[in-house]
Amino acid sequence: MGTITRSFANNITTSGVLLPASLTNNSIANVTAYNAAISTGGMVLLSSQTANNSASISFTTGIDSTYKEYQFYFIDVHPRTDNVTFHFNGSTDGGSNYNVTKTTTWFRPVHGEDGSLGNVGYDTGEDLAQGTGFQTIFTAAGNGADEDGSGSMSLFNPSSTTYVKHFTSVSNYIHSSDLCVTAFCAGYMNTTSAVNAVQFKMSSGNMDGTILMYGIV
């Protein structure tokens, strides 16, 4: 048994686990490539869009069969109009129309800045039952100089031509009545056509903020 073989064998336990001594700066530095069959996992930033008093943010490219999950991150989304809804819709024609049929649920815990309220409630006014309109992410948002909302949404396997397209969303925002609200939304786009575009906007007026789109490996 050669020197390299003996050294390697001496750094493996009887149960087949590598000992810490087997992993050194030199040994790891000598690795030049991974086996193509090994997936390292992670998130790939596909697009970043920033609204500056803009009517909407649309992602019309990059949503395809490359990834089974897409994640959207909303950062400091701020409405220019008070007491409006931040919402989204999907498209099956590259963004020509945003009207995919959806069935969804929406609920929120809420707590006032003054210590009032403090409850969890389901809001039937924010869900859809086979509706084609825009789905609420968060509602009644305030437009004060320091008021905004942030969160994320996951869209699963949008390019499937067999199954419906599930999504989940969670966000935290400042309500127009000075409330801290965490909004939870989930549902499915009831179509077997590929969803290849997504649009975010306010129910009225323009908005500021950044939305990032990642592909999940």
> Are 10 and 62 in a shared domain?
no
Confidence band, pLDDT 50/70/90 cuts, at residue 1: low
Q: Number of folded domains in the chain?
A: 2
pLDDT for position 13: 72
Global pTM reads 0.82
Q: Tell whether 145 and 207 lie within a shared domain.
A: yes
Domain check: are 59 and 164 in the same one? yes
In the block, tokens 């409850």 appear at 119
Over residues 7-32, the pLDDT tens digits come to 556 766 766 665 666 656 665 556 56
Checking 37-45 for CB contacts under 8 A at 24+ apart, the result is 39/217, 40/217, 41/217, 42/217, 43/71, 43/214, 43/215, 43/216, 43/217, 44/214, 44/215, 44/216, 44/217, 45/212, 45/213, 45/214
CATH for 131: 2.60.120
64 pLDDT above the threshold of 60: yes
In which domain, by residue range, is 8 found? Answer: 1-32
Q: Answer whether residue 169 is part of any domain.
A: yes
Percent of the chain with pLDDT over 70: 82
Using CA atoms, how far residue 70 sits from 21, 38, 130, in Å, is 39, 21, 23
Question: What would the pLDDT profile of 115-126 be if each residue is shown by its tens digit?
Answer: 999 999 999 999
Domain check: are 26 and 87 in the same one? no
Tell me, yes or no, whether 20 and 60 share the same domain.
Answer: no
| 22 and 51 in a common domain | no
